[in-house]
Amino acid sequence: MIGDIANLHLSAIALAEGVTVHQMLTFQYQGEPSLIGLRGTNSEGEGILVIGSEQPIPFTTIRHKAEVEALHVERFRVDCRARGGGEPFTSVRPGLDPPDFFVRAQESSEKEMGLECTRLANGERLSAQAQMDRLERELLAAPRESRSRIAGCVVRVRIFDPATLMGPPFKSGDPRLNEIVELVLSLDPETSQLPDGPFPPQLPPEAAAQTPTGAAGASITSLTPGHRPSPFMRRSGFELVLDFTTTHTTTSVAQTVAEVVEKKDIEVNEILLITAGGPDRLGLIHPGEELVAGLLLDGIADLDLRPSPLRRVVLHRWAAGDAWEIHPTRRRVVAPQAHGAAGVEPPRQGVELAYPRVVIPSSVFGGRNDPCACGSGRKAKHCHLADL
């Protein structure tokens, strides 16, 4: 569980009828909760994962798509070497996009194979976070006096109609964004406090204000004693939380993976590396991806993949450090940091995310005297760049 239980109030999770909760899942980063979710079963007895509040974790400064893919490949290689999986690729060089890379699986192999990289991402959550980022920027741009009334509080923004708000990220001047900004700044802690008790699936009109279109709502509560402010609160004076719940079942995750494999199953790609929880193109890590991958691994026997050009599909979990081959066989190729008796690492509770140093080979991009790709400002040869 999270060390500071006071922070738990920052997340609200909407549960469908008939869901049985078995476990609360939390990730934290630098002592702060970055995700809260629930594991359990639905009314049909199928494994289910419900993710509530999720705060992406900044990992590095990314400049190009190739840098993200290089990080994913090198992290996979590091985990393989560190946890008994051996060296998966004796050589790696940039590809033609696609494939992202050409690799040799064995030193004696004369033929290079096309390696394609992708992430196990949830489009709804990524879109929701993009909207939240824009909302934060607009609220920080508002005059300080307009935010004074809600200082020291938690403002929850809840999306009622995902179809209306989950499109492309808001642009400056978007009337939907302006409505939410005006709504947040109009909240009055004296009259808009939520009642005590569990957070309802959808806030009643008397407990939360809504935008004129009814696509989003907002409510306000007081911060509990001992709360550690987020970077946003240090600048704004209040916390801003997106209450956006997504539900994932073993079947839905298996279908998502099958769609990813089908999309990447083209003639030039022979190996597909799917990373869960790795940095995206903005250098942000979404820990919920690892929980979704864990749900898939629990039901891996039900995964039906029939790719043709792809010879091998591997699922790698970034923070857990384990990797599973999900095609053509179903086997774990890299052990996690800790695993249960059944061989699948159980969802970890209260995990403090720690990231070992990832070395980026000089053959992929950049020179030794160029600024390091991680954004530290140091020369690459003194930071992350090294010949493997």
| Strands 153-159 vs 113-119: parallel, antiparallel or unpaired | unpaired
| Amino acid of residue 315 | L
Residue 293 near residue 120 (C-beta atoms within 8 A): yes
Q: Is 139 within a domain?
A: no
Burial 38-51, CB ≥16 within 10 A → b, else e: bbbbbeeeebbbbb
Q: Is 3 within a domain?
A: no
User: Helix count (H) and strand count (E) of the chain?
Assistant: 8, 20
Give how many domains the chain has, as a whole number.
1
Tokens 């590396």 found at: 273
Residue 337 near residue 321 (C-beta atoms within 8 A): yes
Q: Is 373 within a domain?
A: yes
Between CA 294 and CA 52 the distance in angstroms is 17
Residue 171 near residue 130 (C-beta atoms within 8 A): no
Quick one: CA dihedral 179, 169, 375, 322, positive or negative? positive
Q: Is 40 within a domain?
A: no
Q: What is the pTM of this model?
A: 0.76
Return the pLDDT at 318. 92
The residues, ordered by sequence, that sit 6+ positions from 171 with a Cβ below 8 Å of its Cβ are: 134, 177
The residues, ordered by sequence, that sit 6+ positions from 329 with a Cβ below 8 Å of its Cβ are: none
Q: Is 131 within a domain?
A: no
Query: End-to-end CA distance of the chain, in Å?
Result: 39
Residue 158 has φ and ψ, to the nearest 5°, of -120, 135
Q: Is 312 within a domain?
A: yes
The residues, ordered by sequence, that sit 6+ positions from 53 with a Cβ below 8 Å of its Cβ are: 10, 11, 12, 13, 33, 35, 36, 241, 242, 243, 244
pLDDT digits (tens, 9 = 90+) for 296-337: 988 776 788 888 899 999 999 998 899 999 999 889 998 886
Q: Which residues of the chain have pLDDT under 70?
A: 1-12, 14, 29-33, 107-109, 191-208, 224-228, 301, 337-368, 371-378, 380-388
Return the pLDDT at 192. 56
**What is the total residue count of the chain?**
388
Cα-based torsion angle of the residue sequence 80, 95, 280, 312 in order, rounded to the nearest 10 degrees: -50
| Strands 284-285 vs 385-386: parallel, antiparallel or unpaired | unpaired
Q: Is 52 within a domain?
A: no
Between CA 211 and CA 131 the distance in angstroms is 15
Return the pLDDT at 210. 83
Between CA 320 and CA 338 the distance in angstroms is 8
Q: Is 328 within a domain?
A: yes
Return the pLDDT at 108. 57
Domain span holding position 269: 65-122+248-386
User: What H or E segment, with its residue span, contains residue 374?
Assistant: none
Return the pLDDT at 383. 58
| Amino acid of residue 171 | K
| Amino acid of residue 342 | A
| Amino acid of residue 28 | Q
DSSP state of 287: T
Residue 187 structure tokens: 């909240």
What DSSP assignment string belongs to 328-341?
SS-EEEE--SS--T
Taking the mean position of all CA atoms in its chain, how far away is CA 290? 8
Between CA 192 and CA 105 the distance in angstroms is 61
The residues, ordered by sequence, that sit 6+ positions from 333 with a Cβ below 8 Å of its Cβ are: 80, 85, 314, 323, 324, 325
What's the Cα-to-Cα distance from 97 to each of 118, 247, 342, rounded to whole Å? 12, 33, 38
3-state secondary structure of 168: coil
